[in-house]
Structure 1
Amino acid sequence: MPPGTAAGTSPPSTSSYYDKLVAKFGRTSQDDHHKDRINEETEILKEESKISLDRLKENSDMDDYDWEFWSSVISDVERVKSKESGRLKENLSLGVPPSLRGMLWQIFSKSKNNSNVIETEYRELLHRTSPHEKLIRGDLARTFPSHSFYKERDGEGQEALFNVIKAYSIFDQQVGYCQGLPFVVGCLLLHMPDEAAFCVLVKMMSCYGLRGLFTRHMEKLHERLYQFNQLLLYFLPEVHRHLDAQGVVPSMYAAQWFMTLFAYRCPLELVFRVYDVVFVEGSQIVLNFALALMRRNQQTILSLEFEGLLAFFAENIYDEYKNDAYGFVKDAYSFTISSRHLAKLSKQYAAQVKREAKLHSEEDQLKRKNRELTDQKQRIEKAYAMLESEHQEVARQVIESKMNMARLDEENQQLRRSVLQLQIEIDKIRKTINVDRQAQFDELARRNSELVQQNSALEDQLVEVESQLIEFKMKYADSENQYEVMKQKLYEAQRLSSFR
């Protein structure tokens, strides 16, 4: 993954751990003892630098470096920057003495101010766990893989690199970890111990504007790319037109320049020269170095098309300066870019971002409205499909009803004809039945009359039989009485005969 890719950033907070610590580190104290402690740390660094410079003077030719000038820089860098800026630029073009580079970077950045507090915080952070440790470990071997200091897995270089990046990822949780950061830290560790590198890194992020390159939305990086694009149009319009025609925009090749201060794939001697100037001039000077690269390679750039351009920017853009570090710095200084010009470009970028944000907001509203209308359309289409289906079903039922009604009407007509026919038959039957019924009635009446007469005769006979029966019963009763009398007499006769 290229160094411009952010990874594992934490969501911002209104009062972050980083904000509190930076406020703490940058707070001036009314305590004289505290002020003396700050001055003492800076003075110790200056003394160490002067001792190292004196040793270098004894062991080097006077023509190599202007030792007196660098001694004056160590003594009072602010005076040299304001009073001898031309001489400072010339000596920066020649290069900072390598053995003094780490100490001078600390002096330029004023990293020794409150360094005891920051270093104490750093040591405490090393005992904590960062959520980005796995990502950091995975990228260590890809940071300056050919450099002996970083080659060995779990060696001194990789461990120092891991410690500083891990500590910073905890220290500044809004930044967390970004894959461009190891290249910046890696350059610092080649010139100073890890505690000092952490202090310088904090200064670079908070005072040199590097932090905005690594935050979640990389606001400063996008602003820097916009400034570079406009400056390229201003200083090298032909190159700008060609790249624009090929569809090659600065984010495709320059993002890594600004995020790593050219440390990604650039020869280290050139990188150190860039850092020398950055620590003196500020991080905006990287725009000058970017323009210097574009102008020195102008003819090659104009001869290439899209794929060739991307390959050239990735592999060969530094070849022209590989053996000309002095020319690289001199060419960078040849571009005059005023702070007012940069501020104007920043203002233009802010206005553009605001416009884009507004357009984006309007676009989001339109997209949201479109989604709502699409959902509504889908609901209507679904309802219409259901209504269409219901309509077809109703139409089918209507047709079936009409066919049933026609069939029923025909059956009704048939039934009416049948009923009429039946009515006629009934009337005929009724008439026939009436004639037959009258004859039957007369016959029945006659037979009834006969039966009445027979019944009357039978009733007379019944009366006579009943009379005879009564008479018979009376005779039977008399007979019974006589029988009992005779039976009594017989009994009396038998009893009397028994006595004889």
Structure 2
Amino acid sequence: CCCRRRRAGAAPSLLGSPERCPAMEKGEGGAREPGAGIPRVDPYGFERPEDFDYVAYEEFFSRYLVILTRRAIKWSKLLKGNNGIQKSLKVKRYIRKGIPNEHRALIWMIVSGAQANMEQNPGYYNKLLEGEKSDTLVEAIKTDMNRTFPDNVQFRKTADPCLQQTLYNVLVAYGHHNKTVGYCQGMNFIAGYLILITKNEEESFWLLDALIGRILPDYYSPAMMGLKTDQEVLGDLVRKKVPAVAELLDRHGVMWTLIVSRWFICLFIDILPVETVLRIWDCLFYEGSKIIFRVALALIKQHQAFILEATNLPDICDKFKQITRGTFVTECHTFMQKIFTEPGSLSMATVNKLRETCRAKLVAQGSTNNI
């Protein structure tokens, strides 16, 4: 598939609009407060939390900017080639090292198959919007509109344009496209992230379809069997790769659904920092759902000693919340390197074999009710 070039004049960056870098700016008189070079609202429109460590982030970003610039130059050369984006070890390596944000929507569309589906179904998205609507579906989606990213300035009713209407359209269209799923909480956050990156309703719809229909099948269906299965798969992987943590959870009767259901159903949104989530999604669209296991395993393995300090159920839950914060997850480039080294070998074939076993076990137990 040939590539469409987007915003050719945009400055190379992995971010939507680059953070101001301390090395590039000085306050009046040459002196300024540490951390003053980082805006209160991030490049995607999210307000930084009150306890945000501006100084530590500025130190990280001054290093990361060098990587961003280097990656952007390499991607520009790749996209100028005659072959477009075709699956190869080189493209896989480039994606693991991060897609520049000005090319992110394009690459996601191509490698996920969403671009091909959109081109094969011209006008389909608009037909869904023009068709008869289910009152139940519409009501469920409307209820979640104001709950979707209240900390993002682009989703507020005062924003111009306000992305709530775009989000509503994508979710309503998808609910009528995939009637088995309809609408499920969690889909609003995923669609919201897609809209922030693509800035395009129809592309967001087809990417949502790639995620829900192909990459994460049965995660959002009424019985959520795909989600339940993958939680059990993670449990099996932890038993093999981090057995002490698995034993701790078993000893205290902690089920994996209590720990990771939000990680998986929201694809780490509101769990990990925005840029880290987007770097994970770069790989998810290209390599498939094994990436979410790599992320979970890296978090657990990296913090094994800390988790093992827990002495009861509330303590275990608190430890798992804490491991999704701090320098390890904020420094997204190092974090992404870790997810491909810490867990060791993990193929889709291994994941699918475990899925078969875990799914059969759940079916035998009669686990088809909603979580």
Fold match by TM threshold 0.5: yes
Counterpart residue identity of residue 129, structure 1 = K
- What is residue 5 of structure 2 aligned with on the other side? 48
- What is residue 263 of structure 1 aligned with on the other side? 269
Contact 1:170–1:176 (Cα < 8 Å) also in 2: yes
- What is residue 358 of structure 2 aligned with on the other side? 349
Equivalent position to 2:133, from 125, 129, 134: 129
TM-score with structure 1 length normalisation? 0.56
Q: SS of the counterpart of 1:165?
A: helix
Contact 2:72–2:100 (Cα < 8 Å) also in 1: no
User: Using the alignment, how far apart are the partners of 1:126 and 1:180 within structure 2?
Assistant: 21
Aligned CA distance change for structure 1 residues 153 and 159 (closer, same or farther; 3 Å): farther
- What is residue 107 of structure 1 aligned with on the other side? 110
User: Using the alignment, how far apart are the partners of 1:281 and 1:67 within structure 2?
Assistant: 23
- What is residue 49 of structure 2 aligned with on the other side? none
* TM-superposed deviation, 1:280: 1.1
Contact 2:212–2:220 (Cα < 8 Å) also in 1: no
Counterpart residue identity of residue 328, structure 1 = F
For structure 1, list consecutive stretches of 5 or more residues without a partner in the other structure.
Answer: 1-41, 361-500
Contact 2:117–2:206 (Cα < 8 Å) also in 1: no
Q: SS of the counterpart of 1:211?
A: coil
Taking only aligned residues, the RMSD between alpha carbons, in angstroms, comes to 2.9
User: Using the alignment, how far apart are the partners of 2:138 and 2:351 within structure 1?
Assistant: 37
User: Using the alignment, how far apart are the partners of 1:289 and 1:73 within structure 2?
Assistant: 28
Number of residues of Structure 1 aligned to a counterpart in Structure 2: 309
Contact 1:175–1:211 (Cα < 8 Å) also in 2: no
User: Using the alignment, how far apart are the partners of 1:132 and 1:185 within structure 2?
Assistant: 16
* TM-superposed deviation, 1:215: 0.8
TM-score with structure 2 length normalisation? 0.74
Name the structure with the higher helix share. 1
User: Using the alignment, how far apart are the partners of 1:140 and 1:354 within structure 2?
Assistant: 34
Cα deviation 1:245-300 (Å, max 9, x = unaligned): 22222101211222221113322111101111101111221000011111222222
Q: Is the deviation greater in 118-127 or in 291-300? A: 118-127
Counterpart residue identity of residue 271, structure 2 = R
User: Using the alignment, how far apart are the partners of 2:316 and 2:219 within structure 1?
Assistant: 25
Q: Is the deviation greater in 157-166 or in 305-314? A: 305-314
Equivalent position to 1:324, from 325, 331, 335: 331
Counterpart residue identity of residue 365, structure 2 = E
Q: SS of the counterpart of 2:222?
A: coil
Q: SS of the counterpart of 1:47?
A: coil
Matches for 1:87-236 after TM superposition, within 5 Å = 88-89=92-93, 91-116=94-119, 118=121, 120-127=123-130, 128-130=132-134, 131-152=136-157, 156-192=162-198, 193-208=200-215, 210-236=216-242
- Larger radius of gyration between Structure 1 and Structure 2: 1
Aligned CA distance change for structure 1 residues 301 and 146 (closer, same or farther; 3 Å): same
Contact 1:52–1:100 (Cα < 8 Å) also in 2: no
Identity percentage over the alignment? 24
Q: Is the deviation greater in 332-341 or in 180-189? A: 332-341
Contact 1:225–1:251 (Cα < 8 Å) also in 2: yes
Contact 2:184–2:220 (Cα < 8 Å) also in 1: yes
Matches for 1:7-18 after TM superposition, within 5 Å = none
Q: SS of the counterpart of 2:88?
A: helix
Cα deviation 1:324-382 (Å, max 9, x = unaligned): 1012211111131123322321232243235434x99xxxxxxxxxxxxxxxxxxxxxx
Aligned CA distance change for structure 1 residues 63 and 272 (closer, same or farther; 3 Å): closer
User: Using the alignment, how far apart are the partners of 2:177 and 2:363 within structure 1?
Assistant: 31
- What is residue 289 of structure 1 aligned with on the other side? 295
